[in-house]
Chain A
Amino acid sequence: MITALGLNYQTCWENLKNGQSGVKKITLFDPEDNETRIAAQLPDGFEEYARGYYTRRLKQQMTRVTRMAYVCAINAVNNSRIDFNMFDPLRVGVILGIVDTGYNSLEQEESEDNRILKSMNNAPCALLSIKYKIEGPCFPVSTACSSSGYAIGLGYDLIDNNRCDAVIVGGADSTLSPEQVRGFNELYALSVNNPEPEKASCPFSRERDGFVIGEGAGMLILESEESALKRNAEIYGEIAGYAMTTEAYNLLSPKKDGEGMVRTMELAVKNAGMTVNDIDYINAHGTSTFLNDLCETMAIKALFKERAYSIPVTSSKSMIGHTIGAAGAIESIITALSIKEGILTPTINLEFNDPELDLDYVPCKARKQVINTGLSNSFAFGGHNVSIVIKKAFRNL
């Protein structure tokens, strides 16, 4: 993964465990005319770091989002040590959550060349298929904040239905441009805590006043158990099941009392062949908006009943902001690493309790805890919900 907390998953993970905030004043453009002037922007060295991954010519055909997706996916492939030449290319796929490629005013100021290539939503998937000679299913998914969660679900299905042996899944996003920040401000969706950037993203806190935009990418290599064992792969976790639902209710607000969220989590647990008693960690959508955090808390209480109070619920967005189309993938990776290492990353900035939000949000400091099964939630504008059940890899049991 690539986030405001680091350009590779190892750095991100260390900083997440340390409870660091990646939020600061926006420097990608002059934000003085925007109501919100803070974000969890990638570290300054990203473009220089990424330069080694493509030719200058290819860079000229990419947006920042495409570059993030490309670099992150190559890192994931390298980390997994998978060799796609050993696979039937028709049985390997790429599914990425890409809301859009971010061909925004900043990109256009830099250059208007290659306009179509830069704005093609499928470009990140296509470029990876070209790089790795992948010839199976290859497409982007666009369901706003749940895009990459959907991508993981669809990749899982391709393997579960024996259509693919391996699938690159994930997502990338950067909604940092003056017009996109303005657009979210019009919806009263963003925090305006400009004076204290590192405290602005405070999911489940009484002080929460909106989400903080995050840039990021998260990529996973999904493969069948048989394939992973055959090549002696390091297995980070096992996707046990998932559910995707639509609320059919409102473009912005979740359904009353989090009803749609309950249904999504319930179906995911059922799809995994488990009961709610098997879930011992929830990586929440936890955006730091008034409605999401309230509804998600109500949904967890409705589904898990009394157990809700003893299940740790964390929000990674407190540190890396809301990475929109990449959030589902990044948070699934964090869920898998939490299970693998037995460490819960904290929900930082939770200093002032909201009386209605009274679950165990793992406030401020990481916690060591043995976890066997986690649930990663993504609930999007438009009512596109997804919950993914991730359990400890069979080999790590």
Chain B
Amino acid sequence: MKKITENTRAEVKDIIFDFLADACEIEKSELNEDMKIIEELGGDSLMFLSMLEIFKKKYNLNVELKAIGKYILKHPAETIGEIIDATLVIIEYENRIVDM
């Protein structure tokens, strides 16, 4: 189990903001955690998977897509803030998120 610190949250947030700013062609400074990725930013569901690949490499995560799928079904994430929180849970618990 990886330890999540304030620094980890800041790092994850920064990566997600960078990704969304680039993919949605919006200034990073215009983003905030309450924004809905699909409805407000014109994003798509594949974005989460693309971001996940970044975090799997960065944190050397051992997590299967189906485990994430089960977790997201129980804990839907629509806003940027919710995606950040879901990512932190995945980093912390990896495949064990399925039990949460």
- Residues of A participating in the B interface, judged by any CB pair closer than 8 Å: 55-58, 61
Interface check B23, CB cutoff 8 A: yes
**Minimum Cβ distance to chain A for residue B92 (Å):** 29
User: Tally of A-B residue pairs with Cβ under 8 A?
Assistant: 14
Query: What is the total number of residues of chain B having a CB less than 8 Å from a CB of chain A?
Result: 6
B residues with CB within 8 A of A:
23-25, 42, 44, 47
Complex-state Cα separation, A224 to B49, whole angstroms: 42
* Given A55-B24, A55-B42, 6 further pairs, Cβ under 8 A: A55-B25, A57-B23, A57-B24, A57-B44, A58-B42, A58-B44
Q: Which chain B residue has the least Cβ–Cβ distance from A131?
A: B42
A contact face: mostly helix, strand, loop, or mixed: helix
State the CA gap A56–B20 with chains docked (Å): 12
Q: Give Cα distance in the complex from A58 to B24, angstroms.
A: 9
Which residue among A56, A57, A58, A61 has the maximum number of chain B CB atoms within 10 Å of its CB?
A57
A55 contact set on B, CB distance < 8 A: 23-25, 42
A-B interface, 9 closest residue pairs, ranked by CB to CB distance from nearest: A57-B23, A55-B25, A55-B24, A56-B25, A55-B42, A55-B23, A57-B24, A58-B42, A57-B44
How far apart are the CA atoms of A58 and B44 in the complex, in Å?
A: 9
The CA-CA distance from A250 to B23 in the complex, in Å, is: 48
Query: Closest Cβ of chain A: how far from B72's Cβ, in Å?
Result: 20
Min C-beta distance of B51 to chain A, whole Å: 12
Q: How far is the CA of A55 from the CA of B42 in the complex (A)?
A: 9
What's the nearest-Cβ distance from chain B to residue A70, in Å?
13
Residues from chain B with Cβ under 8 Å of A57 in the complex: 23-25, 44, 47
- Of A55, A56, A58, A61, the most chain B CB neighbours within 10 A belong to A55
Q: Which residues of B contact A56 (CB under 8 A)?
A: 23, 25
Nearest to A117 among chain B residues (CB) is B46
Residues of A near B24 (CB, < 8 A) are: 55, 57
